[in-house]
Amino acid sequence: MNDLDLLRATALIDGAAVEGGAAIPRLSPVDEEPLGVLSTSDATIVGQALESAQRAQRGWARRSSIERGMVLRKWAAALSAERQRLARLLSREIGKPILEAYGEIDFAAATLQYSAEFDRRLDGVLLQPERRDEQMWIAPEPVGVVAAIITWNAPIALAMRKLAPALIAGNAVVLKPHELASFAVLDVVRLGLGSGIPKGVVNVVVGPGAPAGVALVSSPIPGLVTFTGGRNAGKAIAAQAAEHLPALSLEMGGKAPFLILDDCNLDEAAAATVAAKIRNCGQTCVANERVLVHRSVAAEFLQRLTDRFAALKVGDPLERAVQVGPKVSKAELARIEGLVDRARAAGGQVVCGGSRLRGGAFDRGYWYAPTLLTGVTARMEIMQEEIFGPVLPVMEVESFDEALAVANDSPYGLAACVFTSDVRRVMRALRELECGEVYVNRPPGESVHGFHSGWKQSGVGGDDGMLGLRHYLRHKTVYLRA
């Protein structure tokens, strides 16, 4: 455990820890050493958290947006002050390389700062009335209580993507982090309480989707349910929430294609391709999930990829030179192993990697070798389903037309990357790619003032920026007779 003590995650309601039922032990994915225990929240505890948020929300909303913005700025400063400690905890909890952990915390602090800037920009609209001696306007108001559920791959950043805009808009939140990544999130929320977030305005429940998540989204209290995670979980959440019709914002993963065209800079494209694949061990929703490379440059490009994969440093994520850490859990490791094995059985060829890492420190923990696959076809499972690991299938295409067709042949539509020096191809790709984010000649990576939004089965709604903030507001039209 190095300098980290065993941890305990409980619900946090009205600023106090609330013990739950079944205890779930958590092991570090790095070495399978005990990390801590989750005291899981049952439906009763979730109900208490929702009621706490409902009681606290009105008082928080009555504060001026300027006051709320000041609290968010103090929270951002507290987060930055604890950057080193939180980064180490995050690395031990999910296996994220330490430099990436620092980046995640910086993103979360920037999200707080950005959301705080809306303290003077939560504007309504003044309209010209149709009748004499009247005024007419549209006023923004908070949705009330927000139910926020997040996955494990970037827990601090994802939590803040929900919390910061919800709070500046005047909402209260009940947050459920994933059971694989609760410790760091709870630490961050405690920093918020210490920075002036009133008790009850942010509550946390912990544990698996059943019962905690089900109780949260099936309650009549939330005005908004916002989720980041897997496609099947997102569909289940939408169905469970349907009875009470809250607003929904669901980000449900991706299958980002990288289009490597015959006129691009191959060195730059190869560097971006690898960087986008190995970030957080491939466990990001905008990760490079499939490469579509023009046949005329395929051999040369594949050699560049192979050389770069062979040079990757895999190991203890607390070491600054490490680029690839472990998978987050034993189940995730087995899932990746199965995907590669089935791809090989279907005709895929392993260029490098293709198995668990073993020997020395790799005999403990959840390690999979960075893997390149060729010989894949567009309809193979590994080209259709989200990999979420350090495995990259590479498919050759005959033309730009074929690359676009294969890129769009997916139930997902979150992100895509195009590498070309032809502006006409860029403009066509921007028009025709069926996804919410397009990156040209660079790897994926969102900005806090952009809009992170999926198309198709990658979700509805979205996070970040002005468009993301709108999900946390509803609007009231006022007709005033003077």
Active site members: 251, 285
Q: CA of 324: how far to CAs of 183, 320, 361, 365, 391, in Å? A: 22, 11, 14, 13, 12
Residue from 277, 264, 298 nearest 396 by CA? 298
What would the 3-class secondary structure string for 339-359 be? HHHHHHHCCCEEEECCCECCC
Report the residue count for the chain.
482
Three-state DSSP class for residue 261: coil
Q: What are the C-alpha distances in Å from 286 to residues 251, 314, 416, 435?
A: 11, 21, 8, 11
| Cis omega (within 30 of 0) for bond into 211 | yes
User: Following DSSP, what letter does each residue of 280-344 receive, concatenated?
Assistant: GGG-STTS--EEEEEHHHHHHHHHHHHHHHHT--BS-TTSTT--B---SSHHHHHHHHHHHHHHH
Give strand pairing partners of 437: 415
Task: For residues 278 and 390, give the distance between their C-alpha atoms in angstroms, rounded to a whole number.
Answer: 6
**DSSP structure string for 406-455:** HHHSSSEESEEEEE-S-HHHHHHHHHH--SSEEEESS-----TTS-B--E
